[in-house]
Structures are given as structure tokens and as C-alpha cells.
């Protein structure tokens, strides 16, 4: 198939975010498909994030250099193009042929819906919307008619809220059938190394990504709200705990006073390979989920946590309704409260090597890109 992957990498030039998109591109290429990654600047004045300047504006210079380096090193150097709507100009090695590729494509995979749909990106007969931010996507559709129109322009609708089909998730359906999917992982890209004895349990996170939302009397908050109950965790465990935390509102000094090691994600995970190295340096992942994912019982699972598992690093995560979706207790442990988080860390520390092996096996069983993407393609073109 000829497939367009529409995503957010030039405008969001960060290590983990880049891997989120690369897994789709590399996974589809490995399956033998003809794939082009396409990104659009959109029309607003805060399109591009430049971490080197610490600003968000319309200048894609940093992001274009980032994308060129990333795709070259990943072995897909000619498989991307970027449309700068502010200057009406295409960039990237596939710039000349991008519109024709889109016009002749069999399928568009729109990851997250952060790009506008131009005439060329509406050409594929099959257009699959992949909701990577469940609950918040649906609430945005309720509040913003233009965004809902953007989503409605697709022919199939997928979500990381894996409980949506069972009725367990409290996610507004908006008169459409959402199909469950999950992050694909190109397993060959994730090396498994011995667990470092002195490594920390860590995660890469944003303290706050955007304002909390309310719907039908329920508040759906950010990770900042989830984290409030776990601030004192370092004092209750012998395990070393660290956070690579972004966003200006993060209370870094308070976290350090509570015993957390705090590092800058732009330093430890600036590009995809630094991100992988940071994960390998860890003993495992300890993470909370966005408050909205938890209260909705969405069944959402982080693409970052999938990368930890693929690297042979056990994951201890706040539960979003994962029972029945994933095998729990070996390599992947969940908690609902502070005592549960302490107990999960103690269990991993008791048998670190066994949990590390189980983590990789779980990634192979649940996130293998060849399986996840084959199912996604079959269902999006049915």
C-alpha cells in the first residue's frame, strides 16, 4: 500500500515524540509498504517549538534540521516532507513529490489530529484518525467545532482508549464507533541491555500540557493532579526515584525537597537516541498517568512505557483500567494509591532480572509493530 503518515515531529522536535512517529513509519516500511511521513505547519502563529531558543513561533529551521538528522539515522532519509503554510513552501527530501504521493495514496494515517487536512491530504480514499490523547480529544471535539470537522473528515476512527469497546471507559463516543489500537513498537530498534544496579526508576513527562477540562460534572486533569498523591513516595522506598520533567509550572524545588532527583528532559532525552540511552540507564519506569486518563478508566497506555518495556525495563504505572488488556504483575505492575506504588517497587526490586525479562516479553507479545500495524491497516481499509 501507499501510505501517508501525518504527524508532529518537525514542530515537536523531542526524542520521545520523535519515536512515537518513527515507530509507525519504520514499522510500515518493514511490512513492505510505500510510506511517506508528511507534516503541516498549520496556519496559526505558534506552530513550531525550538528548544534551542526556548520559543514557539513559525520558524521551522530547528525542526527541519532535527527531522533530517532523525530520518537519516533511522534509515528513512528520503521518506519525509514538511509543508510550511506560512511561506507556502515544501521542505524535505520528498518535497517535490509530496502532493502527488498524497493524491495517489491508498491510506492516510493521521496521528493525533494535530495537522490540518489540506486538499492533498484528503485525497486518499481511506483516512484513519488515530486518537492518542483519549478523553481530551473527544472533549475538544465537543468544545471546538472546527476540530470536530477535522476529525469528521476521516473514514475510520481509532483510539488509545482501549476500554472504549467494552463500555468500561467513560469517554464521550460522539455518535461514532471508536476502534481500539495501541502504540506499535519496532522491536529491532530497541536493544536490551543489563539492568544497571545503580539506575533510578524514572520517566519523561510534562507536568502540565494544557488546561484541565470538565464535562458532565467530572474534572479531567493533567499529570500534575495525578502526582499530588505520590509526592512523598521517595521517603517510603529504598529505590532511587527520578523525574525528567518538563513545563514551567513543575515544582522542581519542592520535588527535590521530597527526595526526587529532577533532570531536564531537553538534556537527557533531546533526540531519539539520547532518549533510548536514558531509558537504558534506568532501572525501570515509575510513572503516573494524566488524571483524565485515570478517572475515565480509558485503558490508555503510554508509548513511552511501551519503549521502556521493549528495552527490558519493567514499568510501574498508575492504573488507567489496564486489567484484562495486558498481563499484569510481571514486567508491568500497576498501582491505584501510594501504598500500591510502594509495594510494586518492592516487588520489582525483589526480582529485578525476572521483571526485566518479562518486560521485553510483554513488549513482544503486545506491541510488536508487525502485529499492531497489520491489524490497524486491515481495519482502516475494510
Question: Do 191 and 129 share a structural domain?
Answer: no
Q: Closest Cα partner for 117 from 151, 82, 141?
A: 151
Residues 81 and 157 in one domain: yes
Domain count, the chain: 2
pLDDT band at 5 (very low <50, low <70, confident <90, very high): very high
Same domain, 87 and 150: yes
| 53 and 149, same domain (yes or no) | yes
Q: Are residues 180 and 41 in the same domain?
A: yes
- Expressed as residue numbers, the domain containing 73 is 2-184+368-380
Burial 69-90 (b: 16+ CB within 10 A, else e): bbbeebebeebbbbbbebeeeb
Alpha helices for 170-298 (secondary structure H): 223-227, 252-257, 265-268, 272-280, 291-295
Residue 93 is classified by DSSP as T
Q: Are residues 143 and 18 in the same domain?
A: yes
pTM of the model: 0.97
Same domain, 374 and 361: no
State the pLDDT confidence band at 169, using cuts at 50, 70 and 90: confident
Q: For the domain that residue 101 is a member of, what is the CATH number?
A: 3.40.50
**How many Cβ atoms from other residues are within 10 Å of residue 52's Cβ?**
12
User: CB 375: neighbour CB atoms within 10 A?
Assistant: 15
pLDDT, position 311: 98
Same-domain check for residues 149 and 101: yes
| Geometric angle at alpha carbon 23, from 21 and 27, rounded to 5° | 130
CATH code of 349's domain:
3.40.50.2000
Contacts of 298 (CB under 8 A, 6+ apart): 134, 135, 160, 161, 162, 163, 164, 169, 170, 171, 292, 320, 321
Q: What is the pLDDT of residues 79-106, one digit of tens each?
A: 999 999 999 999 999 999 999 999 999 9
Are 302 and 318 in the same domain?
yes
Check pLDDT > 90 for residue 170: no
The answer on 132 and 9 residing in a single domain is yes
Are 195 and 120 in the same domain? no
Assigned C-alpha cell, 311? 528495552
Amino acid at each position: 500500500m501507499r501510505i501517508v503518515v501525518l504527524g508532529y515531529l518537525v514542530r515537536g522536535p523531542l526524542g520521545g515524540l520523535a519515536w512515537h512517529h518513527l515507530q509507525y513509519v519504520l514499522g510500515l516500511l518493514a511490512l513492505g509498504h510505500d510510506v511517506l511521513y508528511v507534516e503541516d505547519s498549520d496556519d496559526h502563529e505558534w506552530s513550531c517549538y525550538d528548544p534551542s531558543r526556548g520559543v514557539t513561533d513559525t520558524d521551522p529551521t530547528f525542526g527541519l534540521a532535527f527531522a533530517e538528522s532523525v530520518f537519516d539515522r533511522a534509515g528513512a532519509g528520503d521518506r519525509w516532507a514538511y509543508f510550511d503554510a506560512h511561506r507556502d513552501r515544501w521542505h524535505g527530501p520528498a518535497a517535490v513529490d509530496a502532493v502527488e504521493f498524497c493524491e495517489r495514496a491508498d491510506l492516510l494515517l493521521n496521528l493525533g489530529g494535530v495537522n490540518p487536512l489540506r486538499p492533498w491530504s484528503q485525497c486518499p480514499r481511506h483516512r484513519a484518525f488515530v486518537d492518542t490523547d483519549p478523553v481530551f480529544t473527544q472533549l475538544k471535539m465537543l468544545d471546538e467545532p472546527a476540530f470536530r470537522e477535522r476529525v469528521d473528515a476521516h473514514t475510520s476512527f481509532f483510539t488509545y482508549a482501549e476500554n472504549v469497546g467494552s463500555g468500561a471507559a467513560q469517554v464521550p463516543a460522539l455518535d461514532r464507533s471508536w476502534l481500539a489500537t495501541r502504540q506499535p513498537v519496532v522491536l529491532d530498534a530497541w536493544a536490551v541491555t543489563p539492568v544497571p544496579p545503580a539506575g533510578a526508576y524514572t520517566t519523561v513527562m510534562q507536568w502540565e500540557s494544557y488546561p484541565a477540562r470538565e464535562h458532565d460534572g467530572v474534572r479531567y486533569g493533567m499529570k500534575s493532579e495525578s502526582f499530588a498523591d505520590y509526592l512523598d513516595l521517595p521517603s517510603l522506598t529504598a529505590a532511587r526515584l527520578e523525574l525528567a520533567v518538563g513545563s514551567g509550572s513543575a515544582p522542581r524545588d519542592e520535588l527535590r525537597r521530597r527526595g526526587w532527583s529532577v533532570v531536564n528532559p531537553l538534556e537527557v532525552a533531546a533526540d531519539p537516541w539520547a532518549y533510548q540511552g536514558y531509558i537504558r540507564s534506568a532501572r525501570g519506569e515509575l510513572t503516573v498517568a494524566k488524571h483524565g486518563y485515570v478517572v475515565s478508566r480509558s485503558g490508555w497506555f503510554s508509548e513511552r512505557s511501551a519503549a521502556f518495556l521493549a528495552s527490558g525495563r519493567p514499568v510501574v504505572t498508575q492504573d488507567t483500567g489496564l486489567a484484562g488488556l495486558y498481563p499484569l504483575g510481571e514486567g508491568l505492575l500497576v498501582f491505584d494509591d501510594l501504598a500500591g506504588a510502594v509495594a510494586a517497587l518492592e516487588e520489582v526490586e525483589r526480582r529485578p532480572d525476572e521483571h526485566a525479562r518479562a518486560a521485553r516479553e510483554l513488549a513482544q507479545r503486545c506491541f510488536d509493530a508487525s502485529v499492531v500495524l497489520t491489524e490497524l491497516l486491515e481495519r482502516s481499509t475494510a
